[in-house]
Amino acid sequence: MKLDFDRQSPPLSFTIGDQSSNAVFSSWDRSKIDDGGWRYSDSETELAVEVTVRQFDDAKVVEWMVRFINDGDETSPIITDVLPLNFSWEMSEDDDLHLGHANGSLCRMDDFVPTTTKIRRGEEKTLEPMGGRSSNGVMPFFNVITDDGGFTVAVGWSGGWRSKLNRDDSGCRLIAGMTETSIALGPKESFRTPKMLLVEWDGTEPEIGDNAIRRLLLEHYIPQSEGEPALPPIAHPRQLVYYLTQKADEADHLEAVERAGELGLEAFWVDALWYGGGGDWWEEVGSWRVRKDRFPNGLKPIADAAHEKGMKFVLWFEPERVRAGTDIHRNHPEYLLSIDGDSDNFLYDLGNRDACEFMTDLISEIITEVGVDIYRQDCNIELLPYWEQADGPDQIGFTEAKHIEGLYWMWDELVRRHPGLLIDNCASGGRRIDLETTSRSFPLWRSDYTDIVALSEGMKLQIGAQCQTAGLSRWVPIHTAAVWTFDPYSFRSSMSTGVVYYTDILADDYPIADAKIGAAELRRLRPLFLGDFHLLIPLSDEAHDWCGYQFHRPDLGQGFALFLRRHESPFPTANVNLRGIDRKAVYEVTMATNYTIPNPKKISGEEFANFRAEVAEIPGSLLVEYRKVT
């Protein structure tokens, strides 16, 4: 199996009128694109197809995207069956084929839990998210696994997409693209496809391919801050206090900023409670003006107070959803899309350039006025029905394509106007995590399972947090979850490259000492979270199982392994094979079941690689930190 990205037969397909993509590539005029790739032009229809290709130093890594452009003054032929990934290869009858994939986010305990599906002859596996958000139910990252290697795939599209892997007598075929496309472009119109990233890998361990994607994202895609990957902060919002008490005003926020500073937190954020004219948060989306009854002096005093304490300031928006009766609904109905049967909710059309620029200006002005460091964008609406209703008969997929392109333009423009601005991508908690959003943002809130639903879940909350870290880290290196309690088992269940202190930090019984210690432990481990990820124990959401995983930095000879014995587990030990350990070396190792780190011991690599984890407490945790010393 080898991906050969040749200019005359790239691994993609489409149909334009009665011409196949093969005919386009062989007969249309061809020229190079400055940024890499080729432009194919047809003088008769004045239609062009641009295949932008990004090559990396490793020849086994390639990224590409397709754009269709009508340079003429007439409507183009219909462009159909657009598959930016269409790749086939031969396999013998005896060869195994598996697809490594994972749940997306659905506000469930098993969010991001990975699955491996065997593909037999005559079988097909389809991956497709729900409702027009890219990781709503399924992740747009997956691994095609054969006996001696395979390739990992990342889909760069924040709307609806579909991928199919099938196998027949002649071999295998993998396709991916938007859910459906049948588009006649008007004069001077264009649209782009999902971006595709493929990494070929050799070996028998699928984690080789998974970690290749992680490394690639960290080196070439993740937003940077001072030359390093921009990491999410240890942060605190007041949203839970608002949910439970409806008391979340300027005085409360300023007092909470003081406490957050005492705790050594890195960011303070104002979530969905600051705007509108008096209704609940979900009723006011579309009125992006400060509620004077809660914040009579605006939000700047809170941001200023956070900055004085050395913290970043995070502010929540949901620009794509507009409720009836709000400012935008009243003043700019021309910017909205609607669906039959719902007169209360509208989709703000980012595919309308005037609308996109208006929203970008509005948000940019607030960022400047308040002093926002992290722009937090939520999206709590199923987008696909609005796009589908807005499409004409020869425009199927066009509304979605322009909306997603407008979303990327808005984010890029906000960062251009505000250098250093970071973007937090929420989308009902982790439902829009893909290659394109990962290139521009991080999810501070990777699943709504750890939101207020957790009040009724008990110890399942920690299991859900473990599943999120161990599942999402397989491909996506940077993300953050909520923590409710600060015993070592609970905190370690939630920590990743950042963490959200969700409960009320002003409460009389708040565990200040443990909260400080937990933050210190995360800061110590944070550089190691950027290493290779290894799942040491098969991941499940069962209360009687253990969870165990390892982050390893081969460049540093350093890493950590975390073992979590769940609250119904009868097993006090787990035997695992640690990864990346040099059996001929000596390691300095600490093993801590609580926040007190004992003096390190020197252990031979041979002994350390075959590790026996012991956790007597139920539930309990064991943090193993190691460093190669010879």
Residue 521 — φ and ψ, nearest 5°?
A: -65, -45
* Farthest-apart Cα atoms in the chain, separation: 76
Phi and psi for 618 in degrees, rounded to 5? -125, 115
Model confidence over 300-340: pLDDT tens digits?
A: 999 999 999 999 999 999 999 999 999 999 999 999 999 99
- Tell me: pLDDT of 506 over 90: yes
Q: What integer pLDDT is reported at residue 118 of this predicted model?
A: 97
Q: What is the pTM of this model?
A: 0.96
**At 552, is the secondary structure helix, strand, or coil?**
strand
Q: What are the percentages of helix, strand and coil residues in the chain, rounded to 5?
A: 25, 35, 40
Per-residue pLDDT at 58: 73
pLDDT at 3: 59
Cβ-contact 403, 355 below 8 angstroms: no
Of the candidates 64, 65, 83, 129, the residue with the CA atom closest to the CA atom of residue 103 = 129
Which pLDDT belongs to residue 440?
98
* CA gap 556, 566 in Å, rounded: 31
Over residues 525-547, the mean pLDDT reads: 97
The larger pLDDT score, comparing residue 424 to residue 10, is at 424
Cα–Cα distance between 537 and 470 in angstroms, integer? 10
E strands present in 134-194: 141-146, 149-156, 161-168, 171-178, 182-184, 190-192
Question: 421: closest CA among 484, 348, 371, 473?
Answer: 371
pLDDT at 42 over 80: yes
Please give the full DSSP string across 266-302, using - where no structure is assigned. Answer: SEEEE-TTSBSSSS-GGG-TT--SB-TTT-TT-SHHH
Burial category of 278 from C-beta neighbours within 10 Å (exposed 0-12, middle 13-18, buried 19 and up): exposed
Structural domains of the chain, ranges and CATH numbers in brackets = 13-221 (2.70.98.60), 532-628 (2.60.40.1180)
The pair phi, psi for residue 293, each rounded to 5°, is -70, -25
Among the listed residues 53, 439, 532, the one whose alpha carbon sits nearest the alpha carbon of residue 220: 439
Please give the backbone phi and psi of residue 496, each rounded to the nearest 5 degrees, phi first: -145, -135
Q: Identify which has the larger pLDDT, 110 or 34.
A: 110
Query: Of 244, 82, 226, 220, which is closest to residue 162 (Cα–Cα)?
Result: 82
Structure tokens at 73: 């003054």
Q: Given a cut of 80, is residue 626 above it in pLDDT? A: yes
pLDDT beyond 70 at 6 = no
Backbone phi and psi for residue 315, each to the nearest 5 degrees, phi listed first: -135, 135
Please give the pLDDT value at position 4: 61
List of E strands, 84-148: 85-89, 98-102, 114-118, 124-127, 141-146
- For range 158-179, the mean pLDDT: 96
The tens digit of pLDDT for each residue in 337-363 reads 999 999 999 999 999 999 999 999 999
Q: What is the pLDDT of residues 437-492, one digit of tens each?
A: 999 999 999 999 988 777 788 889 999 999 999 999 999 999 999 999 999 999 99
- 336-339 β-sheet, strand order: 321-323, 342-348, 336-339
DSSP 19-58: EEHHHHHHHSEEEE-TTSEEEEEETTTTEEEEEEEEE-SS
Measured CA to CA, the distance from residue 542 to residue 564 in angstroms comes to: 12
Rounded Cα distance, 41 and 31, in Å? 8
Count how many Cα atoms sit within 13 Å of the Cα of residue 524 in the half-sphere of its side chain: 14
Structure tokens at 629: 């010393």
pLDDT of 88 higher than 80: yes
Instruction: State what percent of residues in the chain have pLDDT above 70.
Output: 98
pLDDT in tens, 141-156: 999 999 999 999 999 9
Q: How far is CA 98 from the centre of its chain?
A: 24
| Cα–chain center distance at 62 | 20
Distance of CA 472 to the CA centre of its chain: 8
User: pLDDT (tens digit, 9 = 90+) per residue, 270-288?
Assistant: 999 999 998 999 999 999 9
Of the candidates 69, 54, 64, 77, the one whose C-alpha atom is nearest the C-alpha of residue 13 is 64
β partners of residue 590: 625
Q: Exposed, middle or buried by CB within 10 Å (0-12, 13-18, 19+), for 344?
A: exposed
Instruction: Tell me what percent of the residues of the chain surpass a pLDDT of 90.
Output: 93
**Arithmetic mean of pLDDT, 69-78:** 97
Q: What's the mean per-residue pLDDT of the chain?
A: 95
User: Mean pLDDT throughout 170-174?
Assistant: 92
pLDDT in tens, 413-433: 999 999 999 999 999 999 999
pLDDT at 169: 87
Residue 511: per-residue pLDDT: 96
- Give 375's strand partners: 315, 423
Separation CA 110–CA 468 (nearest Å): 8
d(CA 276, CA 456): 30
Name beta bridge partners: 267.
Answer: 235, 312
| pLDDT confidence band for 498 (50 / 70 / 90) | very high
d(C-alpha 550, C-alpha 529), whole Å:
9
Strand residues in 437-488 grouped as ranges (E): 482-483
* Three-state secondary-structure class, residue 341: coil
Region 96-123: mean pLDDT is 96
Is it the case that residue 552 has pLDDT exceeding 80? yes
